[in-house]
Amino acid sequence: MEDFVIRYVHDPFPLICHAVVEIWDNFLQAIVIELNGNKLEIEKNKILNSICHNSMQKTTKFTVKVLKLYMERTNVEFLNQDDWRYHYNKLGVHELVAPITDMIVFHASKLVIEKQSIEMHFNEIRRTLLEGSPETRKSVQTKLLPRMLKSGVLNDIFIKARSSFFDSDDRFSSANPARSLEVRLLMTKFFVFDSNCPVSTWHDCVDIETMAEALLTVETDVKMLAWHLICQNPKLTRPFSYDELLLAKIFIFTNITEQQPGTRQRIATEFKGLMIRMRESYKLLTKNQNTQLLYELAASELFPEKTESVEESDDIGEVVLGNHIKFLKEVHDFLFDSLGPGSNFNRKLLSMYLIELLHDPGTVYNDGKQDIVYEKMGMKHWLTEDCYNLMSNLLDDGYAIIQNLAEKLIPKLQFKNKSEKVEELQLRFDVNSYKAKEYWIKLEKNERIKELEKMEKLVNDECRKIENDIRFLGEDITLTSLVTYLNGGIQSGVLVEEDRNILSSRILPLILKIGNLVSPIVHSLAPEGFWPEEVSKVPDSREAERRTKKGQQLLVNSWRTHKEVSTTLDSLISSVLTNDVVKLSRKLSVEKIEYIPPDGLKMITDYLWIQLTECRHCGAFEAAAVCFNTLCIVLWGLKDAENLPFDYSTIELPEKILDKLVNSLIGETEDGDSLEICETRRSAGLPPMVCGILTTEPKKNGNMVLGRCLKRLFNHNNQDQRMIIHTINCLVAIFENSELAEAVKQYMTPAFLLCLQKPLESENVKKAISFSDHWPIRNTIARFFSAIIKRMFGKASRPQKCLFIDPKCTKSSNEFFVQLPELYDIMNQNLKAFGNVDQNPRDEFQIYPLLTLLTHITPSNTGDFPLKIFHKKLAAVALIITSRKNEFLDFMEEVRKSGILKLLKLNNAIDGFLQLFIMITVKYEEEEIPEEICAVLKEIFKEILENFEFDGKNDIVLYHLLKSAVFFGSEDEKEKLVNNLLNLIGKKEIKNGLMIVGLAELISKNEFIWMKNSNKMTKELRFECYNLCEKIPEEIKKIVFDDFKEIENEDELEKILKAFSKNPNYLEYELLEKIEEFLGKKTRNDIRRKLMTCYINILGERNLEKNQIEMILEFFEYASCSFEAVTRMEALEAMVSLAMKQRNKNPEFFGILIKKILPSLQDESPEIREEMATVLGDVIIENNMNLVLNPMITWSFAVKEDPELMDELFYKTSLTKSRNGRSRVFALTELNPFAENKVIKDIDVIVEIVSRLNK
């Protein structure tokens, strides 16, 4: 039984693991019966103990179930406090959350039933919430605590002990203030919504000052919990208090520019709950019931003087209702004001979400009755003409999502005095589809055909000018806007009402004519611009500059027009489709297909074929691909449609189009010639074209076309190299497409075989796709390998920053090779072939996919696919991944006994061995390397060093030896190694290389060795030490300063400045002259930035001269306008440090610096805004709270005190201006899209609240 459970509980098939757990449960029950429930005998049972201990070595959801069953059936306390802490820490692992939660709830319930204390669990929960990782905290908040509070046994215990989560004991006071407050608010949330708890509102657990502090902070988790408690209550009819409405209003005002999409969604969700409570509490307020509660809600704790007259009111319900209406009106006015000029994208987006929730008269009560509160509160009268104008202006916004939201809200909201007049034709490049549709809808019926004729004339005039001279496209053309209006006419459906043949007879030929005119430009190989070759001779530099701009504008105009043509064709094709509500898809409408007769459909198909096979501009072929997808739906529908108005038998169906494309790729065309397919990176429109056909294939086909396509793409010979790249790019797109994810899994074997072929001889390269000297093919196959790895193993939730794979993206050897058995032998053969034969160095690329694949495969206890056969042939990472700790130790011990001295004679062998040491340090943090592994590696390293011959070893071997010594060498061994290499450097006069870097890393991490050998080190080695060190020994300061004064090039300067930036206290005034000398020379921008940082740190509290002040301010002007957040942050930190040092010595200069720094509170980077709010909070607003204020609050108060700050902000952000009153196609990139001219209106109220909190 012991072998059975230990072996099969880790099986790759969950079904087997579940069976093992069930058998284990039956076995335990039998043992308990056999031993008559004798607890002492059960605890001594060796088999049970061995199974449980082995289960804990590798934690999975099934091993946790094994432990839980053991404790449940035997009543034995198997886990000690350290074991429980380990399992609490594992709550951050997604797979383990449910089983560990079950085990904790069971154990805690058992203790309560046995009348024992569960203080240990309380302490672990609090510790995890205060100190755990974000993932662990989230699991406790969303999984563990809800389960425990729902438990009938534990619920009473939690309620009785709730004060332990609010008392400020040592653990709370020593923890991060934000986390402490988060725990209080979290537990408040649970207790408020627990029906058994006497707590009815958040006010019963936390005071109003705590809630205000939470809402005003920059900490997202804290303020969102507080926002939830303000908006939500289990009793929906409970009205809002005066203070709740005040805090809710302040929260909306201060967080309307929220940058994170997830947080914006949470704000809107809670606001929806607030609106529900507003409506539900209306009945209570109108009936004036429960007056004692209403008097409490009408009074204010924050501003009692403002509500003194409440006690004298006879109709207290009207007072509270008036507070509600006043709050809603203020929020309404604020949200619409936020849509006006000067607002940034985030403000507009969240405002529109909240407006939709605020003005939603269609809401129904819980009993299904229509909401009449909206009308009775008079809210429909707030939507004035000014509101409509503000909303309609967003139709011209620079962001498409804002335009789309405005288009959705305008017809939904009940605006008063909404303008119905027909606007004039606006032939600007930024006209949008909504305005175009509205234009046609508002036109009288008898005017529509006349307007279409007018547009036809304008289009023909523009086309004639382009045909005469293509350079006309480089002017301010109206062609794009005309196409947009034609698109609007199609989408509105009004033109079809006039004439059912109008789409095919008049609009389609016009659109295709425009597309064929601009297509040659976007098919060009010049993405940076286009200019006709026949006029390309440039007489002078000014003319060259003018033509460059014209060439760019010509390309942009062509691209925009081409894109709009594709969008219009998509609308035209979509007009013959209907929505299938049941299947949530679109299908062909037999009644509407007459809009596009066969000749029109053929013209569209031919046009899109050319665009997707020849177009080289990304934005152009992407729009064409969307249109082609819609076309495929129509073409597939024609195959099975009956009673069609025309004969469509001559139209090529998607499968035939795909066959023609594949024939061209693999060289099987009827005439023997391949199509003119472009050579753009990633094959441009070909992959989207293939995916468009395959993803729209009817389900009843059973992916027949997909299977035939993949078989032909995988199985062919004698393919042209140029077509090989296109073929693989198409395969990449197919395997990356989420709609085909399940369908392609049956083709994973040929996909992997394509990447794992044996290296071919040069004469055979053309016989199959393979790695070769042709770099583009290697690169494309690498992309394909990445795609199939993600499809097979999944995608990690976080970016992979090292060679070790996220456990979520691995499979056991059984699970992988049972699915793909053919790969097992081929992988082994490839490794043998590569290891035993001298290969061309370029063929090393062939082995990378195999080794990478092995890092995703973990060992299995059972099955026919052991990974041990790969061990002696694997690189370090694959060896570590495919071995358990005991296997790894056995392997290393075997190597130590049998082969180290032999390895020392071969550069490649010893290098591979040393890389194993390095990869161990990557997999484990230095302090977390298991003691057994660390001990054996130290012994092996000692033996290596004792027998190592430095002569004849190449640079990379010495580098890896030094890297290994950092972690596994003793102090004596490190010192001996440094002495040997210093002698070698002096003997061979080595000045650079990886060995120097490795030696510098070893020396810089050991101050004693650095000080002892500082006089022996070469200049190059010293500078490399400066580059890598975290701290420079004080004893070698003179050497460092001498090196700084004798710097010869920028590389040396960069390395020593890196050390100075980490050790600012090391800088002294004697370096100032040399720094000024460097600043007077032309240097790289990053080096100049570091020099200025050192310059500012040296000056510190000294009296500054005029030229020094000017230099500092000039530097900050440059750095604060950088597009790089790192540059801005470094400059700001230096300036803040200088400002604080000059605060008392030179108040005037301090004021100048602060005024320059304050606009960073409006920086587009949230990290910079939060950092500056932390630093500047006490300077601008006296803030003695534990938490940092929202940057918006600090900025608004600063602008109120000094309105000129707004000019300073917009001067730095370099906001683009229109030229001659007109928008330009080429507007300068906006440096800071977050910056806006809006501030908080009620900032005085917020400052007063902060001042009260400080007391």
| Helix extents (H) in 282-381 | 282-287, 291-298, 316-337, 345-358, 373-376
Residue type, position 976, single letter: K
What percent of the chain has pLDDT above 70?
84
Of 617-621, 845-849, 865-869, minimum mean pLDDT range:
865-869
Q: How far apart are CA 611 and CA 686, in angstroms?
A: 10
Among 105, 99, 100, 137, CA closest to 121: 105
Q: What DSSP string runs through 393-404?
A: HGGG-SSHHHHH
Residue where the block lists tokens 């400059």: 1131
Task: Average the pLDDT over 1086-1101 and give the result.
Answer: 87
Q: Which helix (H) or strand (E) holds 953?
A: none
Say if residues 361 and 374 touch (Cβ distance below 8 Å). Answer: yes
Q: How confident is the model at residue 734 (pLDDT cuts 50, 70, 90)?
A: very high
From CA 429, how far away is CA 437, in angstroms rounded? 16
If you average pLDDT over residues 781-799, what whole number do you get? 85
Measured CA distances, 400 to 593, 595, 690 (Å): 31, 29, 28
**pLDDT tens sequence across 501-515:** 788 888 888 999 998
Residues 658 and 488: their CA atoms lie apart, in Å, by 32
Cα 140 from Cα 96, distance rounded (Å): 12
pLDDT score of 1143: 85
Read off the tokens for 905.
Answer: 């004679």
Q: In which element (H, E) is residue 1002 found?
A: helix 994-1004
- pLDDT attached to residue 1221: 37
Q: In this structure, are residues 821 and 774 in contact, taking their beta carbons and an 8 Å threshold?
A: no
Q: Is 234 left (phi over 0), alpha (psi -120 to 50) or beta?
A: alpha
User: Is it the case that residue 873 has pLDDT exceeding 50?
Assistant: no
Q: Quick one: pLDDT at residue 222?
A: 94
* Token pair belonging to 269: 């969700």
Alpha-carbon torsion 470, 471, 472, 476, what sign?
A: positive
pLDDT over threshold 50, residue 1217: no
**Mean pLDDT, range 991-1018, rounded to an integer:** 86
Cα 947 vs. chain centroid, distance in angstroms? 50
pLDDT bin (cut points 50, 70, 90) of residue 362 is low
**Which is more confidently placed, 1210 or 413?**
413
Query: Cα–Cα distance between 181 and 223 in angstroms, integer?
Result: 10
Distance CA 1167, CA 1128 (A): 11
Asked whether the predicted pLDDT for residue 500 surpasses 90, the reply is no
CB atoms within 10 A of CB 797: 10
CA distance 657 to 705: 11
State the pLDDT at residue 12. Answer: 67
Closest Cα partner for 1043 from 1067, 1026, 1064, 1058?
1026
Which range, 455-459, 586-590, 1228-1232, is most confident?
A: 455-459
Q: How confident is the model at residue 767 (pLDDT cuts 50, 70, 90)?
A: very low
| Backbone phi and psi for residue 528, each to the nearest 5 degrees, phi listed first | -85, -5
For residues 439 and 482, what is the distance between their CA atoms, to the nearest angstrom? Answer: 12
pLDDT reported for residue 37: 62
Q: Largest Cα–Cα distance in the chain?
A: 105
Measured CA to CA, the distance from residue 518 to residue 607 in angstroms comes to: 12
CA distance 761 to 765: 7
Radius of gyration of the CA atoms of the chain, in A: 36
Burial of 882: CB neighbours in 10 Å, binned 0-12, 13-18, 19+? buried
626 and 566 in contact (C-beta within 8 Å)?
yes
The gap from C-alpha 12 to its chain's centroid, in whole angstroms, comes to 31
The Cα 605–Cα 653 span in angstroms is: 10
Which of these ranges, 7-21, 298-312, 393-407, has the smallest mean pLDDT?
A: 7-21
User: What is the band of 284 on the pLDDT scale with cuts at 50, 70, 90?
Assistant: confident
SS3 of 143, please? helix
The predicted pLDDT at position 1229 comes to: 43
Q: Among candidates 401, 397, 425, 429, which has minimal Cα distance to 1225?
A: 429
Element containing residue 186 per DSSP (H, E)? helix 177-192
Q: Which residue has the higher pLDDT, 640 or 1213?
A: 640
Residue 328 pLDDT grade (very low, low, confident, very high; cuts 50, 70, 90): very high
Range with the poorest average pLDDT among 165-169, 378-382, 651-655, 913-917: 165-169
pLDDT at residue number 98: 92
Neighbours of 755 (CB within 10 A): 23
Contact 363, 339 (CB under 8 A): no
pLDDT confidence tier of residue 813, bands split at 50, 70 and 90: confident
Distance CA 495, CA 452 (A): 9
For helices 400-412 and 433-442, angle between their N-to-C axes, nearest 10 degrees: 30
Contact 1189, 1251 (CB under 8 A): no
Under 8 Å between Cβ of 548 and 557: no
1120's tokens: 């604060």
DSSP 12: S
Residues with Cβ within 8 Å of 1054's Cβ and at least 6 positions away in sequence, in order, are 1027, 1084, 1086, 1087, 1090
Give the per-residue pLDDT at 759.
44
> Is the pLDDT higher at 796 or at 220?
220
Structural tokens at position 295? 């008097």
Q: Is 857 exposed, middle or buried (0-12, 13-18, 19+ CB in 10 A)?
A: buried
Q: pLDDT band at residue 630, thresholds of 50, 70 and 90?
A: very high
Q: Give the pLDDT of residue 872.
A: 45
- Evaluate if residue 371 carries a pLDDT over 50: yes
**Residue, of 586 and 1218, whose pLDDT is higher:** 586
Q: Which of 623-637, 796-810, 978-992 has the highest mean pLDDT?
A: 623-637
Angle of helix 242-255 versus helix 220-231 axis, rounded to 10:
140
Q: Give Cβ neighbours of residue 882 (< 8 Å, ≥ 6 apart).
A: 854, 857, 858, 859, 867, 870, 871, 874
Question: How many Å apart are CA 393 and CA 343, to the nearest integer?
Answer: 13
- What is the per-residue pLDDT for 378? 85
Bridge partners for 579 per DSSP: 586
The pLDDT of residue 1228: 38
Q: What is the DSSP string of 549-587?
A: HHHHHHHHHHHHHHHHHHHHHHHHHHTTEEEETTTTEEE
Q: ∠ CA(505), CA(506), CA(509), 5° rounding? A: 85
Residue boundaries of the structural domains of the chain: 237-419, 653-755+770-784, 1100-1255
Question: pLDDT confidence of 900, banded at 50, 70, 90?
Answer: low
Q: What is the mean pLDDT of the chain?
A: 82
Rounded Cα distance between 595 and 644, Å, is 12
Give residue 220's pLDDT.
Answer: 92
Query: What value does the mean pLDDT take over residues 968-977?
Result: 89
Residues 678, 723: contact at Cβ < 8 Å? no
Percent of the chain with pLDDT over 90: 20
Per-residue confidence (pLDDT) for residue 283, from 0 to 100: 77
Calpha distance 683→496 (Å, rounded): 38
pLDDT at residue 240 tops 50: yes
Residue 1067's SS3 state is coil
